[in-house]
Structure formats: C-alpha cells, structure tokens
Structure 1
Amino acid sequence: MTETATHQQIRFLARLGATMGAANYPVTLVRQMVERASAAYGVPSDYVAFPNHVQVIGPITESGTPVKAAHVKDDLRFDQTFPLARLVSDAMTGRVRPVEGEARLDRILQAPARFPSWVTVLGYGVQSAGLALVLEPSPLNLLVATVLGFMVGVFCEAGRRVGLLQHLVPAVSAFAVSVICIAGAHRLGFDHVSLRALIPPLAMFLPGAAITLSVVELTARDVISGSSRLIAGFMQIAQLAFGILIATQVLGTDGSQLSPEAINKIGPWAPWLGVAVYSVGVMLFLAPPLSFLPWLVLITYTAFTAQFVGDMTLGSYASGFCGGLVLTVAALTISRRSGAPPAITLILPGFWLLVPGSMGLIGVTELFGADGDSAFPATVISMISVALGLQAGLVIWQLVKRRATRRALGDGRPDPVQ
C-alpha cells in the first residue's frame, strides 16, 4: 500500500470514528471499528477515541508517522444513523475503499432533513401525546401534552436554526411548560400539579441514552468518556429541574404541590395505545425510513412489556433493569435479520419509554422540595437501573454468541451467529 493510500485510510477512519461519536456510539464501538477496519485494510494503526474527538495514528514510515484527527461539531440526526451504520459495517469488513467511504460519509453529513420543519413539530406533538397516555392517561393531560409538545417542537426547531439558542432550549422549554401547567392548574382550582404531566413535552431532553452510554463505557474502563457523558447527563437533568423550579418560584408554588403520583382516568388500555401513538410520533419527529415503522412498533412494545412485567413482579426500580435488558437483547436479535435496521437505531426510541429516565426529572425536582432526602438516591438508582439492564443484555448476547460459535465449530458447520 502506498503512502498516499495509508494517509487516506487513516483520515477515513478518523472521520468515521468522529461521526460515530456524533451519532452517540459508545467509544467502545468506535475502538472496535478502528481495530477491525485497520486489520481489514492491512495497515496497523493506533488511536485515541473520545465522544467528540477521534485521532488515528498510522504506521511509522521513512517520511514520518501519519496522524489524523477529526471532530464533528453537531450531533447527527436520527435518519442519518441508518446509512452511517451500513458504512461502519462495510468499513469493518473492508468492503469499502477509503476514498469511496469518505465520499459516502460526505453524503451522509450533507444530507438534508427528510421532512420540513412543520412535520417535525407535528411529530413531536404526537410523540408527546403518546407519552402522556403512557405516563398519565387522562383527557386533560392528553390535550395539554399534545399542545405543549407542539410548542416545545417549535422551540427545538428554533434552536436548530439559531445555534446560539440551542443550549438554552431545555431550560426555556422546562420553564414554559411548567408555567403553563402550574398556572392552568391554579386556574382550574387543582390543589397540586402532577410532575408526570410535565414530562411528555420534555421527554426528548431526558438523558437516558447518555446515562446508559456512560455506564457502558465506565464498565469497559473508558473512564474519561464515561465520566464526561455522566456529567453531561446530570447537567441536562439539572437544566430541566432549574426551569421547573424557577417557574414554581415565579408563580409562588410550594414544591410540595408538585406530585409524582400517577393517575389513570381513561382506562388500563390507554398506556398500550400510547405506545403505538408514540411510535407514530417518532416516525414523524425523527424521520427514519418508512420501513423502520414495523420494527419500531415491535421494539417499543417489547421494551414497554418488559418494563410493565418487571414493575408488576419486581418493583419500579427493577422494571428499568428488565426493560433495558430485554430491549438490548431484542434489538440485537432483530438486527441480525436480513433487511432489519441496525441495533443502535432500535435502542434509542426504546429508552424514552422506560420509566427511570422520567424518574430522573421527578427526583431532581423533588430534591429541592419536601422529599429531598430520598429523591436523589432514588433518581440515581432509577437511571442506573436501565443502564445496567442494557449492560446485562450485552453480556447475555455475547455469551449466547460465543456458545453458538463453539457449537458451530464443533459440528463443522458455518457459524450461524457471525
């Protein structure tokens, strides 16, 4: 391989790794990609991988050592992760040349949004309505969650268009949603405001995925990446809690008037309908390919059923663990089928349905209220529960995979899993 080809490969791997980071791949998978792709291309390389920066170092040559670093400023949209996953798979097996891979990477990064802004806003409103049916099924809450979902969707679109506002959107959205809910509750003569009524419009800001990725990375001894994600996740929750608390102070509401109790005024079937409504909202808001819909419905119902059964049999904290475990195993199993979407695209929507992510917002808010002594430990346990469930799912998958490999090799048959 010529020196120019070596430089092309190193640059491609660095850019691909940085793009994976922008798509919320754990650095464990970024490392795996660099190692396997380097082996496939036949050029040894070393690397440094962080969530927002990847540096790849090529072999020593007479003219020096090629070093390429890459960073992607903005997170990838959900629809961009599908062609990215295919490119990652091709790179790890050497099916794509570096020049062709960079061209595909450019097309992925430059791809326009699939839907106009109004469809995205509509989708977020529908998604919020679905979560309202799951968390607090009542006619009033369903109406409020839908309208406020549209409002937050507009805020998100404004943040995307004006980069300086993007980091303020979570706090501003939490403040606006809380002011409207608290003022409306006072107007209607309610003696409390349900925290679960505030969650559906703010669901996209809950850092369930970030917390889970941090646990995966910390258990893999990627301490720097895991710690940074963990801190970023708690900062996101703090922004939401700050917006809610400012709203309560502005309106003179006592923190004890914020209730986490769940109320179902529609019927036991409402949460199950909410999962379907939520899935439709995800399709409009995140704009994945239309072929993703049946897989999305399958994975969301699987995750919700696991959480529901876990809550009924083991309790609320264990429900997150059960949901995360089953979600991971199901996503990995589905991704092995021909024509199925990548596992990482299946896991993200499932996170927003699991209760611990929502309990994180409730716990931090209560931390400044009457129940602060027990809220923070409950919050930590709830969020870590789903993360450990995901990690357990990965361990189970690897054990089953190794056993299938040994059995296939012992029988002299091709490996059915690989």
Structure 2
Amino acid sequence: MSARRWRLHLPAFTLRRRSLEVEPVVDTASERLQEFLVLLGSALLSIGTAATDIQRTLKRVAVALGSPRTAMFVFPTLILIRMPGDTETRFDVAESPGGEVRFDRAAQVYAVVDRAVAGQLDADEGIEQLGRIAAAPPRFRGWVRTLGHGLAATGLGLVLLGGDAVSLLYAFVLGALVGAVKLVVRPGTYAAVLFPVATAFVLALVVFGLAHTTVVSEPLQVLVPALVTLLPGAALTTGVQELAAGDVVAGASRLVSGIAQLVFLAFGILAALSMTGVPASTALASTATSLGAFQPWLGVLLFSLGIFLYHCGPPRSLAFLTVVLLAAYGGQLAGAVLTSSVYSGLLGATVLTLVAYLVQTLRGAPPAVVCFLPAFWLLVPGATGLIGITQTASGGTVQSASLPTIAGSIVSIALGVLIGTAVYRQVFTIVPDRWRLRPV
C-alpha cells in the first residue's frame, strides 16, 4: 500500500503597497494655477514649513490639478514656478519668516492643500480662500495671547527649574511682558529685527539686577523661559534637515539665520552682564535641579496650554498638541537614559515626527507643522542651546555645554525628524486607505 501524501495549502498573502504619488483629478490645468501655487507656497513658507516639504506639497497639488510637468524651486523667502508652455517664470517673495506663526492660519492653509489634492477646489477658489486666510484676524484676543505667552514661559521654567515658586512667578511675569510687546511690534520693520537682542538685553538687566539679592538663585534659567518664542530651535533643526535632504541653499541660509538669532540673543544677555557687574559664575550658573516625578510633566502641560493660546491654536487641537509634546518630551527622556543627553533628541524627534504625522489625520487635530514648532522649543536646541552658547561666550569658569555638544544635539534632532519621516512614509504605503493618512 502506497503512503498517502499530505499537502498543506496556505492562502496566498500579498502586502499591497500604496503609492506616495497622487493622481491627476482634472484633465486641463487652470490658467490661474501658477498664481495659486505661488500663493500657496508663500503661505506654507510663512508658517514655518521646510522648503523640502513645500516643494513636495506643491508638486502634489500641481499634479492633482492637471499640471504634472510643473517645475519649481523653493527657497526660504522665494518661490520660483514654471508651467509647461509658459514663456516667463513667475516668482513671489514669501511673508517674512520672522513674523508670528499662527496655528489657526496654518491649519486652514493645510485644509486648502488637502482639498486641492482631492480635487475639491480649483485654482480660483484656492486663491480666494488663501486671501481670506491671510486677512482673517487672530482667533484669540491680545490679552489671552499675552497670558498664553506667560504660561508657556512658566511651563518651560518648570521643566528647567522644578517647583521653585518665586522663579516660576518671575518667569510668568517676564514671559507675559515679552508676549505683550511682541504683539505690538510689526513684522518686517527695524523694530522687529532689533526686538530679540533688545528684549534679551532689557530682561537680562532686570534679572541680573535681582541676582544681587537672594530672590533669584539662577538668573539665566529665569531669563531663558521668557525668551522661549524668540529661540531659533525650529530654524536650526529645519536648516540641518534641509541640508540632509539636499536643499543646500535653503538649509544653509536657514541655518545661518538661526545661528545669528541665537548669537544676537546671547549678545544681549552678555551686554547686560557686563553692565550689571554680576560675576559670570553667579549670573550664568545652570545646575541640574532635582525634579519630582510629576513636575516636568506638569511643565509640559502648561507649556502646551500657553503655546496653544499665544499662537491661536485651532478648535479642539489642544489635546492633540499636548499628546505630541508629551510624546516628544518622553522620547527625549528615554533617549537620555539609553544614550546620553547629546543624542537624546534623536529618539525624541523620531517619536515627535511619527506621532505628529499620525495624529494630524484625526478629526480636529492640527497639521504636523503646528506641533513641530513648540516641540523644537521644548527639545535640546531651544532653551538649553541658548544657555550653553551664552556660557561659552562669557569665557568664565562656569561648567557649560560646549559648542560641539550643542551642534551634536541639533544634528541628532534633525536626523530624528528624517528617520521619523522615512518610517511614516513606509507606514503610509501599507496601511488601508480608510486610515486617511496624509502623504508627506
């Protein structure tokens, strides 16, 4: 009797991968498509989007609206777009990146992007909507935004200082003062250019003057939280990210601009230090405070609320913004345990990028760019970068982070953003369409 053969038949399994590219939804491009793309790119630049992401976004919109052969070049302050068959290149200068970034405006701009890619609006409607977005008043009144700036400074002070009530009170008052003045200064004026160094100088005079008393034990850690929205953490990290992506001109110019802004802030602090006569060992001391388990997390919550109010977060976006900031801070702490403080930003930025891109698909959630800006202030290149470069420039005997350490932190966070983006793009290609993830 012959032996019976058993065969096991398994069902075929095929992993379907979606394309990151969009399909045209109209056959013929509108005559005003070029104008719409320029205005849309200018709006994206004004809300702090990286040049690499802007070029990718504009390309998807151009393909969806019937012009897949559109050529474009994106710089930090300039958009160059050429349409097939045109005899001239249209260009426009974007709104000054030094102006205030409003999160409600950013959410509306990305809503226009989503509708354009889906073919739900044409170029004429897009131009009209962008005009209304640019002219819309802020969502919150001035006093609410001023309060928010003070809360953001208090939250960052709580993360850096712990539960010192007097220091937190000073951080709130100085932060609210800076927020009120920022709302008065018009972007693009000489006052706006001089505002960071002048603000750092005046506040440093006040804080270092108090250093002669026992009220403020570590003046620099009281001063830095008030300057939180003047810190160029996002510009530095985005510049390195653009360099890594091949956008040499955009990345180099943004990186130089961020470094110059950081140096200007440090110059204002050091000028005040020389005038007050406070020893550098006292004024620029920065010691690690023993924090309770809950205090830095409470600081992140206050920081999130303050940023939401000051930058006019969209409705129902506070919870999502808080989740992203908690994830970024938690990732940085985990990275510090696994590696060192220099490279902790790598894991923090990776977690931040993944969570921000995933969260933005939920109803009421803000676009990822809204979550990136405050997270970069919270991570290493923000407050601690200013502390380190100020201590280094003082030439004193203060134990401080060296410039290579600060540069390493910036590069690690930029790499974390690139890693997080690469992982998200792979996730996008394999998840079902019903998840409605936004391509990046």
Give the TM-score normalised by structure 2.
0.85
Counterpart check, 1:147 vs 2:179: no
Contact residue 345 and residue 412 of structure 2 kept, 8 A: yes
Counterpart check, 1:262 vs 2:284: no
Contact residue 317 and residue 356 of structure 1 kept, 8 A: no
Which stretch of structure 1 is more off in the superposition, 304-313 or 372-381?
Answer: 372-381
Question: In the alignment, residue 48 of structure 2 is paired with which amino acid?
Answer: N
How far is 1:374 from its partner?
6.0
Contact residue 120 and residue 286 of structure 1 kept, 8 A: yes
Question: In the alignment, residue 37 of structure 1 is paired with which amino acid?
Answer: V
Counterpart check, 1:174 vs 2:200: yes
Match of 1:156 among 176, 182, 189: 182
Question: In the alignment, residue 78 of structure 1 is paired with which amino acid?
Answer: F
Structure 2 segments unaligned to the other structure (5+ residues): 1-27
Counterpart check, 1:278 vs 2:303: yes
How far is 1:8 from its partner?
0.5
**Matched residues in 2 for 1:94 and 1:68: separation?**
23
How far is 1:310 from its partner?
1.8
How far is 1:207 from its partner?
1.0
Counterparts of 1:2-401 in structure 2 under 5 Å? 6-43=30-67, 44-60=69-85, 65-74=87-96, 75=99, 76-137=101-162, 138-160=164-186, 163-188=189-214, 193-257=218-282, 258-264=284-290, 267-368=292-393, 369-370=395-396, 375-401=402-428
Kindly tell me: are residues 111 and 182 of structure 1, through their superposed partners in 2, closer, same or farther at Cα, counting changes over 3 Å? same
How far is 1:316 from its partner?
1.0
- 2:90 match: secondary structure: strand
Question: In the alignment, residue 329 of structure 1 is paired with which amino acid?
Answer: L
Contact residue 349 and residue 414 of structure 2 kept, 8 A: yes
How far is 1:41 from its partner?
2.0
Indicate the residue corresponding to 2:24 in structure 1.
Answer: none
Question: In the alignment, residue 26 of structure 1 is paired with which amino acid?
Answer: A
Contact residue 310 and residue 318 of structure 1 kept, 8 A: yes
Show structure 1 runs of 4+ deviating over 6 A.
413-416
**Matched residues in 2 for 1:248 and 1:303: separation?**
34
Kindly tell me: are residues 45 and 165 of structure 1, through their superposed partners in 2, closer, same or farther at Cα, counting changes over 3 Å? same
How far is 1:102 from its partner?
0.1
**Matched residues in 2 for 1:323 and 1:415: separation?**
25
Question: In the alignment, residue 276 of structure 2 is paired with which amino acid?
Answer: L
Question: In the alignment, residue 194 of structure 2 is paired with which amino acid?
Answer: L
Question: In the alignment, residue 305 of structure 1 is paired with which amino acid?
Answer: G
**Matched residues in 2 for 1:416 and 1:119: separation?**
34
How far is 1:188 from its partner?
2.4
How far is 1:193 from its partner?
3.4
Question: In the alignment, residue 378 of structure 1 is paired with which amino acid?
Answer: T
Contact residue 8 and residue 99 of structure 1 kept, 8 A: yes
**Matched residues in 2 for 1:341 and 1:139: separation?**
33
Contact residue 206 and residue 237 of structure 1 kept, 8 A: yes
Identity of aligned residues (%): 34
**Matched residues in 2 for 1:226 and 1:93: separation?**
30
**Matched residues in 2 for 1:99 and 1:162: separation?**
29
String of CA shifts for 1:301-322, please: whole Å, max 9, x gaps: 1111111222233221122111
- 1:290 match: secondary structure: coil
Structure 1 segments unaligned to the other structure (5+ residues): none
Give the TM-score normalised by structure 1.
0.90
Question: In the alignment, residue 73 of structure 1 is paired with which amino acid?
Answer: E
String of CA shifts for 1:1-34, please: whole Å, max 9, x gaps: xxx9643011111111111111111111221123
**Matched residues in 1 for 2:189 and 2:409: separation?**
32
Question: In the alignment, residue 174 of structure 1 is paired with which amino acid?
Answer: A
**Matched residues in 2 for 1:414 and 1:83: separation?**
23
Kindly tell me: are residues 228 and 371 of structure 1, through their superposed partners in 2, closer, same or farther at Cα, counting changes over 3 Å? farther
Question: In the alignment, residue 155 of structure 1 is paired with which amino acid?
Answer: V
Contact residue 320 and residue 354 of structure 1 kept, 8 A: yes
The structure with the largest alpha-carbon Rg is 2
**Matched residues in 1 for 2:349 and 2:376: separation?**
8
**Matched residues in 2 for 1:56 and 1:143: separation?**
50
- 1:312 match: secondary structure: helix
String of CA shifts for 1:216-256, please: whole Å, max 9, x gaps: 21111100000000001101101110110001000112333
**Matched residues in 2 for 1:354 and 1:334: separation?**
19
**Matched residues in 2 for 1:415 and 1:200: separation?**
39
How far is 1:94 from its partner?
3.0
Question: In the alignment, residue 165 of structure 1 is paired with which amino acid?
Answer: A
Question: In the alignment, residue 200 of structure 1 is paired with which amino acid?
Answer: P
Kindly tell me: are residues 340 and 78 of structure 1, through their superposed partners in 2, closer, same or farther at Cα, counting changes over 3 Å? closer
